[in-house]
Structure 1
C-alpha cells in the first residue's frame, strides 16, 4: 500500500515539481512533502547508507575538523548531525594544525560509508595525503582511523587519488574503486582488498604514487575502462548485476556526464563469454545516466549515491554544482529501475528521468529537523554540528572553565597572515534560505591589547568577511573587515562589557553584519557582503579570535542562535 500511495502522490504534485525553480525553500515543507535540496548547505559529495530503518549520510569536509561529517535520518529528508569520523588529522600531517593551516583545497574528499558484518566503514581519500579509512561499531563513534595499506603492508601515503568506494561480494571478497585525477590517465581503478578492508592486495604505494601514468596490475589495481576524467565512483550489486558508476568531467572519454557500467561479472565479460579478471578486464554494458555539454547544464544532481528502503524503493542523493554560497547541497530523487538500469528522477521516458523540486516525503511520520542549529553552550561536550577551521589547539578553548559559555583564547595567526591563518575558528555551515540569521552574545572583559574577536563568514581559503571587537590601547572598538580591507566602527560605551553580533542573509547570497548593545536596537557596520563558495567549499559562519601582538586574551560566548526559514 505504501508504494501505491507514494506513486499517486508523485502524480498529484508532478505539475508543480516540473515547473518549480530553485528558491530559498528547502527540506521538509510539512503536509507530507519536501523540497530540494533536502539540506541547503555544503554537504558535498554525499553518500547515503541504510541500516535497518536508519539512514546515514557522509560528506566531504576538506580542511575542516573533525573530518567527514556523519548525519542521521529516519526519512531521508530530515537530517541531524551525529558525529564525524576523522579526529587524528594532525597525526596524518602537521599541515592540518593551527601552526600551519595549509590544507585549504585539500583534506577529506568524497567519502563513502558502508556496513559489513556489524561494522561501519568509511573510506576517504585525503587528497594530499593518501587512502584513509575509519571503522566503528556505532556511527556516532568512537571511530578508529588509519591509512589503508598496500600489498606490502605500507601505508598508502599517495597523493591526488580521490572518490573511493568499497564493495563486499556475496563470497566475502572485498574490493575498492578509486580514481586518480590528472592531466592524462584520469581513470577509475578497481583494487582487490583484504576482507577486513585494511589492505589493497594489488596496490604498490610506490607504483600508484607516480603521476600521469597508466597503473598496471598487480601493482596498480585494474583500470575499469580507458575513459578519461573518471570520478564519483560507486560500486554495488543488484539482481545478479555488478554496477560500476562514475562521472566524467571532460570530453576526452565518453563525454561529460554520469555513466553506469554493468556486467554479470565484476571485471566485465571477455569476448569469449568468460568472466574478466584482475589485470584482464572484459567489456561492460554502458548506460548514460546523464550526458551534458558542461556541468552548468546538469538536469539532475550529479555526484552522490544510491540508497534503498526496506520496502524495496530506491533513491538517489546527489549534489548540484550551481555556484551558490551554500556550496554543493544534497538533493533527493526517486530511482526507477528500467530493464535493470537505474533511472534517476521523475516522469521517466525512454530511460531518462527529469528533475523535481517538490515531492512527497519517502517515509511519512517524522518531524522536521536540521543538521545545523543554535547552541546555549550548556553541555560539557561540544555538539557535533560544530566544525573547526583546521585542527584546533584544545588548550585554547573550553566549555568548562566558565559553565554555560564557550571560552575562546587568542593566539597569533600562523605566520602573521590574517584571518585564514587564525587558529581555533569554530563554525557551522551556512544554510541558504529565504531568511537566515545568526546572532551571538559575546562577553569581552577578558580581551587583551591587539586582540580581535567576532563573527565571520568564510569559505575554503579564498574570501571572508567579519564583524569584530578590537582592543587597542585599552580601548574597545568595532571593525568590519572584508578580504583584508577594514572599516572602523564606533568605540564601545564606557563600561560596556558585552555585545550582540548578528549576520542576516537572504536567498540572494548577500550578508549584512550588525551589532547591538542591548539586543533591541541593531546598527549596520559595512555594506552588503556577497557570500560565495570557493575551493569546493560553501560559505561557513563562525566565531573567531586572534591576537598578533601576543598569545593573550579570551572571549566568552554566551550563546549562538541560528535561525532559518525554509518553507
Structure 2
C-alpha cells in the first residue's frame, strides 16, 4: 500500500509540475536590456534578429532564438566598420551616438542579408552569408547612407529599398545589391506621419516592409507632439500604391519594429520601448488580422504576459561572466563582449597571462571617454551588478584602471597611480564634468571592484564598491544618477578600462568579470 501511495504521489507531483510548466508564460519586456532597432526573420523553426550597437566593435549583432523569447548572440556582421579617426578614437575624434544604425535582416534563396547604414562613414552597407551562425560575411557598400531603410525581395524578382523620415523614398536595388538601379528612385509616401496627425516631433521613420497574403505592409514609428511613440502601418496591393495608413498601436511608447509569424501560424509585432538608462528594450505584441489589417495588442494595449515559453534570463545568452580562461579553439573574447569603438589589438591579450585579460597602455589620454580599448557588456534590468579583480603591479605613474558604467554621464571605480603611490577613486560625470568624488590610499597590488545598477521603475541609480579581500565590500563615492543621453544614444554598459596619462607601456590584469541580474 505504501509503495502504491508513493507512486501515486510522484505521479501527482509530476503532473502538477507539467501543468505549472504549461502555465508559465513569457513576460514583457522579453529582453530587459539595450537591444534597439530590431529586425527579425524566421527561417524554418529558428528566428534571427539583428540590432543596433552603433559605435561598438564588433558591430551589428545577430541573435538566435527558437521561441522569440530566449535569445543568444551567435554572430556579428563586422569586426570593424571602417578605419578612421572617429571610429578609432584617435585624433581627438569619436563617433558616440553614430556608427551603424538600424539594420534590416532578410533571408532569400538560402542566403542571409543584413543591411545597415552609418552616418559616420556616409555609406549604406550590405552584409551577406550562407551560414549566419558560423559563416563569414561578404561586405558591399554604396553611397549615400540611406536612413532607417528596409530591403525587400519581392516575388517578381525585384529588390526594393525604402528609406527616409516623414517623406519616404523607394528605389530598386541592383541584383547584387551594390547600389540603386538608375532611374528607379521615387517618392513612395509623401507624408507617412499623417495617420498620427500633422503635428509630430518625430516624422515617420524606421521603415520595415512585409508582404502578407499578397498585400504590402509598411511599418513606421512616429511621435505626435504631446503624445507618445506610435506605430503607423500603411498597406497597398501594389508597390506603386495607392497606400492607405492607420495608427495600429499607441501604448506605453512601445514602437518601431515589424512583423514575424510562428511555425504554427501565430503573428507577433516586435517593437521596443525607451526605458531610461538601461536603454531601448524589446517587447512582443500579439497580432490578429481583421479586414486585412494587423491589429496589435490586447484591446489596443501591450500585454504584460504572452502565450510564449517563459524567459530563462539574459545570462549567458546576452551577457555573461568571464574568467578569461581559454581552451584551444576558443575565441579570444566571447560574443557578449564589445569594444568601445575600434580596439587597438596590439594592446590587449587573454593569452599573455593565463586566465586574465591584460589591458596595456600605448598612448596618453586625459579623458575616459577618449581612452581606447575599454571592453564592455550591456547592463540588464531590472537590477544587476558586476564585479572584477585587478592585479595592479605593472601600472606606471599616471595610469588609471578599473570598472566603469559607460555613458556620457558615466561613473567609475578604479585605481590611479599618482605621486608614486596608488589610490582608490570613484569618479562621477553626472554633471557632465568628471569629478573625483572620493579618494583613498591603496597599499596592495590586488583590488576587487563592484558596480550595481537599479533600473526598477526607472530609478536609474548606480553605486560603486571596493574590497581588499573579495569578501567585505565598502561603498565608495556618491550614488550615480544614470541618464540616457542622446549624444551617446545607448544604454549604460559595464566597462573594463585602463589608460595612461603620463607614461605609456604599463598594464593591468583583470582576473575575472562576473555579472549578476535580479
Please tell me whether the aligned partners of residues 31 and 314 of structure 2 are also in contact (alpha carbons under 8 angstroms). Answer: no
Matches within 5 A, 1:202-241: 202=182, 218=183, 220-227=185-192, 229-241=203-215
Please tell me whether the aligned partners of residues 219 and 258 of structure 2 are also in contact (alpha carbons under 8 angstroms). Answer: no
In structure 2, distance between residues paired with 1:81 and 1:40: 15
Q: How many Å apart are 1:504 and its aligned residue?
A: 1.6
* 2:358 is aligned with 1:407: yes
Q: How many Å apart are 1:84 and its aligned residue?
A: 1.3
Runs of 5+ in structure 2 lacking a partner? 1-20, 194-202
Q: Which residue does the alignment assign to 1:152?
A: none
Q: Which residue does the alignment assign to 2:153?
A: 168
Please tell me whether the aligned partners of residues 129 and 138 of structure 2 are also in contact (alpha carbons under 8 angstroms). Answer: no
Runs of 5+ in structure 1 lacking a partner? 1-28, 149-154, 203-217, 269-282, 292-297, 348-352
Please tell me whether the aligned partners of residues 219 and 257 of structure 2 are also in contact (alpha carbons under 8 angstroms). Answer: no
Structure 1: 4+ residue segments shifted above 6 A: none
Q: How many Å apart are 1:32 and its aligned residue?
A: 2.2
Normalised by the size of structure 1, how large is the TM-score?
0.79
Please tell me whether the aligned partners of residues 231 and 247 of structure 2 are also in contact (alpha carbons under 8 angstroms). Answer: yes
In structure 2, distance between residues paired with 1:300 and 1:407: 42
Q: How many Å apart are 1:369 and its aligned residue?
A: 4.8
Matches within 5 A, 1:43-442: 43-91=35-83, 93-100=84-91, 101-128=93-120, 129-148=122-141, 155-156=142-143, 158=144, 161-179=146-164, 181=165, 186-202=166-182, 218=183, 220-227=185-192, 229-249=203-223, 257-268=230-241, 283-290=242-249, 298-299=251-252, 301-322=254-275, 324-347=276-299, 353-361=300-308, 363=309, 368-370=313-315, 371-379=318-326, 380=330, 381-412=332-363, 416-433=365-382, 435-442=383-390
Deviations 1:329-368 (A, max 9, x none): 0111111111121111123xxxxx211112332x57x855
Please tell me whether the aligned partners of residues 454 and 468 of structure 1 are also in contact (alpha carbons under 8 angstroms). Answer: yes
Q: How many Å apart are 1:287 and its aligned residue?
A: 2.3
In structure 2, distance between residues paired with 1:250 and 1:145: 40
Q: Which of 13, 18, 24 is matched with 1:32 structurally?
A: 24
Normalised by the size of structure 2, how large is the TM-score?
0.86
Q: Which of 398, 404, 422 is matched with 1:456 structurally?
A: 404
Q: How many Å apart are 1:465 and its aligned residue?
A: 0.9
Please identify, of 97-106 and 445-454, the stretch whose mean Cα deviation from structure 2 is larger. 97-106
* 2:476 is aligned with 1:476: no
Please tell me whether the aligned partners of residues 60 and 111 of structure 1 are also in contact (alpha carbons under 8 angstroms). Answer: yes
Please tell me whether the aligned partners of residues 448 and 469 of structure 2 are also in contact (alpha carbons under 8 angstroms). Answer: yes
Deviations 1:164-203 (A, max 9, x none): 1111111221111111x5xxxx42111101233232114x
SS in 1 for 2:102: strand
Output the aligned Cα RMSD: 2.3
Q: Tell me: CA distance 1:30–1:373, structure 2 relative to 1, closer, same or farther (3 Å).
A: farther
Q: Which of 486, 490, 504 is matched with 2:436 structurally?
A: 486
